[in-house]
Structure 1
Amino acid sequence: MSVPYCFSQTSIKIAGKVIDQQSGQPLAYAHIGCEKCLTGTAANEEGIFEITVTNFPVKLLFSYVGY
Protein backbone atom coordinates (compact mmCIF):
# COMPACT_ATOMS: atom_id res chain seq x y z
CA MET A 1 0.00 0.00 0.00
CA SER A 2 1.45 3.36 -0.94
CA VAL A 3 0.84 6.46 1.09
CA PRO A 4 -0.07 9.52 -0.98
CA TYR A 5 1.89 12.67 -0.28
CA CYS A 6 -0.02 15.81 0.41
CA PHE A 7 1.51 19.26 0.37
CA SER A 8 -0.09 22.47 1.43
CA GLN A 9 1.14 26.00 1.15
CA THR A 10 0.99 27.74 4.46
CA SER A 11 1.57 31.43 4.73
CA ILE A 12 1.84 33.64 7.76
CA LYS A 13 1.32 37.37 7.86
CA ILE A 14 3.81 39.19 10.10
CA ALA A 15 3.08 42.75 11.13
CA GLY A 16 4.99 45.16 13.33
CA LYS A 17 6.48 48.57 13.82
CA VAL A 18 10.09 49.54 13.12
CA ILE A 19 11.43 51.99 15.71
CA ASP A 20 14.79 53.45 16.69
CA GLN A 21 16.04 51.64 19.78
CA GLN A 22 17.39 54.75 21.51
CA SER A 23 14.76 57.37 20.71
CA GLY A 24 11.70 55.14 20.21
CA GLN A 25 10.82 57.12 17.07
CA PRO A 26 9.37 55.22 14.09
CA LEU A 27 11.69 54.58 11.14
CA ALA A 28 9.56 55.67 8.20
CA TYR A 29 9.97 53.71 4.96
CA ALA A 30 12.44 51.17 6.38
CA HIS A 31 12.86 48.11 4.14
CA ILE A 32 11.85 44.67 5.45
CA GLY A 33 12.81 41.51 3.58
CA CYS A 34 12.84 37.79 4.17
CA GLU A 35 16.19 36.00 3.95
CA LYS A 36 14.83 32.91 2.09
CA CYS A 37 11.88 34.58 0.36
CA LEU A 38 11.67 36.63 -2.78
CA THR A 39 9.38 39.15 -1.16
CA GLY A 40 9.91 42.37 0.68
CA THR A 41 8.01 45.39 1.85
CA ALA A 42 8.54 48.86 3.25
CA ALA A 43 7.23 50.39 6.44
CA ASN A 44 4.83 53.30 6.12
CA GLU A 45 5.46 56.81 7.45
CA GLU A 46 4.64 55.58 10.98
CA GLY A 47 7.07 52.64 10.78
CA ILE A 48 4.27 50.07 10.48
CA PHE A 49 4.76 47.11 8.14
CA GLU A 50 3.13 43.86 7.09
CA ILE A 51 4.76 40.99 5.18
CA THR A 52 3.47 37.55 4.22
CA VAL A 53 5.99 34.69 4.37
CA THR A 54 5.77 31.10 3.15
CA ASN A 55 9.27 29.70 3.83
CA PHE A 56 9.99 28.53 7.37
CA PRO A 57 11.85 29.11 9.56
CA VAL A 58 11.95 32.77 8.62
CA LYS A 59 14.57 35.43 9.28
CA LEU A 60 13.49 39.00 8.60
CA LEU A 61 16.09 41.52 7.50
CA PHE A 62 15.62 45.22 8.20
CA SER A 63 17.47 48.03 6.50
CA TYR A 64 17.28 51.78 6.71
CA VAL A 65 19.40 54.41 5.00
CA GLY A 66 21.78 55.89 7.57
CA TYR A 67 21.93 52.82 9.85
Structure 2
Amino acid sequence: MKSSVQNTKLDVNAATAEQLVSIKGIGPSKAAAIIKYRNEIGGFTSIEELVEVKGIGQKALANLKLFLKV
Protein backbone atom coordinates (compact mmCIF):
# COMPACT_ATOMS: atom_id res chain seq x y z
CA MET A 1 0.00 0.00 0.00
CA LYS A 2 2.85 2.40 0.74
CA SER A 3 4.11 2.18 -2.83
CA SER A 4 0.73 3.22 -4.24
CA VAL A 5 0.83 6.34 -2.06
CA GLN A 6 4.30 7.11 -3.42
CA ASN A 7 3.01 6.83 -6.99
CA THR A 8 0.15 9.25 -6.39
CA LYS A 9 2.16 12.07 -4.85
CA LEU A 10 2.13 15.39 -6.67
CA ASP A 11 5.41 16.90 -7.77
CA VAL A 12 5.57 20.23 -5.95
CA ASN A 13 7.66 21.65 -8.81
CA ALA A 14 5.07 20.77 -11.47
CA ALA A 15 1.71 20.91 -9.69
CA THR A 16 -0.81 23.54 -10.72
CA ALA A 17 -2.65 25.71 -8.21
CA GLU A 18 -5.76 23.58 -8.77
CA GLN A 19 -3.84 20.40 -7.97
CA LEU A 20 -2.28 21.92 -4.86
CA VAL A 21 -5.66 23.10 -3.56
CA SER A 22 -6.92 19.51 -3.77
CA ILE A 23 -4.55 18.62 -0.91
CA LYS A 24 -5.94 18.93 2.60
CA GLY A 25 -4.35 21.92 4.31
CA ILE A 26 -3.65 23.89 1.14
CA GLY A 27 -6.07 26.62 0.18
CA PRO A 28 -5.87 29.06 -2.71
CA SER A 29 -3.54 31.48 -0.89
CA LYS A 30 -1.08 28.75 0.17
CA ALA A 31 -1.13 27.28 -3.33
CA ALA A 32 -0.34 30.72 -4.76
CA ALA A 33 2.45 31.21 -2.21
CA ILE A 34 3.98 27.82 -3.09
CA ILE A 35 3.92 28.61 -6.80
CA LYS A 36 5.31 32.13 -6.24
CA TYR A 37 8.15 30.79 -4.09
CA ARG A 38 8.82 27.99 -6.59
CA ASN A 39 9.07 30.51 -9.42
CA GLU A 40 11.33 32.82 -7.42
CA ILE A 41 13.84 30.14 -6.42
CA GLY A 42 13.68 28.13 -9.63
CA GLY A 43 12.08 25.06 -8.04
CA PHE A 44 12.27 23.12 -4.81
CA THR A 45 15.26 20.85 -4.27
CA SER A 46 13.70 19.09 -1.27
CA ILE A 47 10.22 18.83 0.20
CA GLU A 48 11.56 20.30 3.45
CA GLU A 49 12.02 23.63 1.63
CA LEU A 50 8.26 24.12 1.88
CA VAL A 51 8.76 25.55 5.37
CA GLU A 52 10.30 28.59 3.65
CA VAL A 53 6.86 29.35 2.17
CA LYS A 54 4.84 31.77 4.31
CA GLY A 55 2.13 29.89 6.20
CA ILE A 56 3.79 26.47 6.12
CA GLY A 57 5.37 25.27 9.33
CA GLN A 58 6.74 21.96 10.53
CA LYS A 59 3.29 20.58 11.40
CA ALA A 60 1.89 21.40 7.97
CA LEU A 61 5.03 20.03 6.33
CA ALA A 62 4.55 16.67 8.07
CA ASN A 63 1.09 16.42 6.49
CA LEU A 64 2.18 17.67 3.07
CA LYS A 65 4.99 15.11 2.86
CA LEU A 66 2.27 12.47 2.53
CA PHE A 67 0.95 14.08 -0.65
CA LEU A 68 3.85 15.94 -2.27
CA LYS A 69 7.24 15.01 -3.68
CA VAL A 70 10.14 16.80 -5.40
TM-score bracket for the superposition, by shorter chain length: under 0.3
Kindly indicate whether structure 1 or structure 2 has the higher relative contact order, using CA contacts under 8 Å at least 6 residues apart.
2
* TM-score, structure 1 as length reference: 0.26
* TM-score, structure 2 as length reference: 0.25
| Greater helix fraction, Structure 1 or Structure 2 | 2
| Greater strand fraction, Structure 1 or Structure 2 | 1
